[in-house]
Structure 1
Amino acid sequence: MRLLSWGANQYGQLAHEGWPVFEESSTPQQCSLDGLPDEILSNICQICGGGGHTLLLDSDGCVWACGQNNRGQCGAPVDPEVKISRLWTKIEFKGFTKIVQVAAGWEHSSALAVNGQLFVWGSNSHGQMGNVVERGKWRNSPSLLAEEVLFVAAGLRQTAWIGRNGTIFFCSISGKQEIAVPSILRPIQIACGQKHNLVLMANRENDLDVGQVFCWGENKFGQMATNPNVHKTEELIFAEFLKGKEFIEVKSGWSHCAGIQSDGGVNSWGRSNYGQLGCSEQTGEKLPVLWPCSDNAKVKQICLGSEHTMVLTESGNLWTSGWNEHGNCGNGNLDDQFAPQLILSNVKLIGCGASHSFALVHS
Structure 2
Amino acid sequence: MTLWCWGANSHGQLGLGTVSEQVEKPATVELHLYDNKVKQIACGGAHTLLIDNAGKLYSSGWNNKLQAANDNEEYVFQRTWKLSGITFTNIACGWDFSCGVTDDQYLFVWGSNAYGQLGLPKEHFAESMRPIRLHVRATLVSMGLRHTAIVNSKGEVWTTGFGKHGQLGLGNDVLSSDRFQKVDGVGKISHIACGQNHTVAWCSDEKALYVWGDNTHGQLLLSSVKYKKIFKPNKIDIGVNQEVKKLLSGWKNVLLWLQDGTLLAWGSNNYGQLGVQNSVPTGIYTYVSLPGGRHVKDIALGSEHVLCLATDNSLWAWGWNEHYNTGMNTEDNRQLPTLVPLETNATITQIYAGGAFNFIVTEELDNADLVDKNDNRMLYQ
Range of TM-score over shorter length: 0.7 to 0.9
> 1:81 maps to which residue?
none
Is 1:45 the counterpart of 2:39? The answer is yes
- Specify which of 63, 66, 74 is matched with residue 72 of structure 1: 66
Output the CA distance in 1 between the equivalents of 2:250 and 2:126: 24
> 1:226 maps to which residue?
222
Is 1:236 the counterpart of 2:238? The answer is no
> 1:153 maps to which residue?
142
How much does 1:145 deviate? 2.8
> 2:25 maps to which residue?
27
> 2:131 maps to which residue?
142
Q: Which runs of 5+ in 2 are unaligned?
A: 163-175, 365-381
Output the CA distance in 2 between the equivalents of 1:348 and 1:142: 30
Counterpart code for 1:53:
H
How much does 1:270 deviate? 0.6
Counterpart code for 1:22:
S
Counterpart code for 2:319:
G
How much does 1:95 deviate? 7.3
Is 1:266 the counterpart of 2:263? The answer is yes
Identical residues among aligned pairs (%)? 30
> 1:354 maps to which residue?
355
- Cα RMSD, aligned residues only: 2.1
Output the CA distance in 1 between the equivalents of 2:106 and 2:24: 38
Output the CA distance in 2 between the equivalents of 1:301 and 1:195: 25
Distance of aligned partners of 1:284 and 1:352 in 2 relative to their CA distance in 1, 3 Å threshold: closer
Counterparts of residues 302-317 of structure 1 (less than 5 Å): 302-317=299-314
| Contact 1:275–1:281 under 8 Å retained in 2 | no
| Contact 2:33–2:52 under 8 Å retained in 1 | no
How much does 1:94 deviate? 5.5
Secondary structure in 2 aligned to 1:100?
strand
Distance of aligned partners of 1:290 and 1:136 in 2 relative to their CA distance in 1, 3 Å threshold: farther
Counterparts of residues 101-180 of structure 1 (less than 5 Å): 101-131=90-120, 137-139=127-129, 141-173=130-162, 174-175=176-177, 176-180=180-184
Q: Which runs of 5+ in 1 are unaligned?
A: 79-83, 205-210
> 1:207 maps to which residue?
none
Distance of aligned partners of 1:163 and 1:238 in 2 relative to their CA distance in 1, 3 Å threshold: same
Output the CA distance in 2 between the equivalents of 1:68 and 1:111: 17
How much does 1:281 deviate? 5.5
> 2:54 maps to which residue?
60
Distance of aligned partners of 1:360 and 1:133 in 2 relative to their CA distance in 1, 3 Å threshold: farther
How many equivalent pairs are there?
A: 342
Distance of aligned partners of 1:234 and 1:29 in 2 relative to their CA distance in 1, 3 Å threshold: same
Distance of aligned partners of 1:281 and 1:305 in 2 relative to their CA distance in 1, 3 Å threshold: farther
How much does 1:93 deviate? 5.5
Is 1:91 the counterpart of 2:80? The answer is yes
Counterpart code for 1:349:
Q
Output the CA distance in 2 between the equivalents of 1:94 and 1:46: 16
Counterpart code for 1:249:
K
**Stretches of 4+ aligned residues off by more than 6 angstroms:** none
Of the two structures, which has the highest relative contact order with CA contacts closer than 8 Å and spacing of 6 or more? 1
- Specify which of 189, 213, 219 is matched with residue 217 of structure 1: 213
| Contact 1:245–1:261 under 8 Å retained in 2 | no
How much does 1:295 deviate? 4.4
Secondary structure in 1 aligned to 2:50?
strand
Output the CA distance in 1 between the equivalents of 2:283 and 2:325: 25
Per-residue CA deviations over 1:140-183 (Å, capped at 9, x if unaligned) read x321234331111111111110011221111112104321144x
Output the CA distance in 2 between the equivalents of 1:316 and 1:212: 32
